[in-house]
Amino acid sequence: MARVRTAVLLSGRGSNLKSLIAAATAADFPAEIALVLSNVENAGGLEVARAAGIPAVAISHRDFESRESFDRAIDAALREANIALVCEAGFMRIHSDWFARVWEGKLLNIHPSLLPAFKGIRVHQQALDAGVKISGCTVHFIVAELDSGPIIAQASVPVLPGDTAETLAARVLEKEHKLYPHALQLVAEGKVKLENGRAVFV
């Protein structure tokens, strides 16, 4: 089985990267984590990748004059590594419209809420402030509009009395680690595709 060469883009410690790497060690998993890119030179996720024998590269956004010029450098690195799918996992940069178009249907993100609720940042505090009883996480295709791409998969958790943003985040993160490999598997196997602005399951 030819596995789909997949890159992970991140800015932080790489906890979701760990779950993707672990899933990809299974012989029947349809994707291979072939490259990790970060905009932060000392991101912990880069060391996670290197420890697993995965090429890891830092490309600082600070070295570029515009969002698109940075994205073009990311694009070049992805193409050089023959990447077919991209998973963003805590990548704290908003892409240019150009990048979203070029990688449309091949670009996944995980967000720590049940989209379309609570987009952007400080998501868990948003959920607590709204008084919701259920929160969770979403894997979606990335489109030009922030946190608005078609949904591939979701998982929910209860919001408990006395929760803080930190305790809720920890509960959601456990779900993220299971949901992201599942969503990547669906896309890599061709069971879900982005067509005409919708996630179509086949």
Catalytic residue set: 111
Give the CA radius of gyration of the chain. Answer: 16
The DSSP bridge partners found for residue 8 are 36, 87
Give the C-alpha separation, 125 to 98, whole Å: 32
Handedness of CA 17, 18, 19, 20 (dihedral sign): positive
Element (H, E) at 33: strand 31-38
Burial 28-67 (b: 16+ CB within 10 A, else e): ebbbbbbbbbbbbeebbbbebbeebebebeebebeebeeb
Classify burial at 70, counting beta carbons within 10 Å of its beta carbon; exposed 0-12, middle 13-18, buried 19 or more: buried
Q: What are phi and psi of 27, to 5 degrees?
A: -60, -30
**Amino acid identity, position 73:** A
**Amino acid identity, position 84:** A
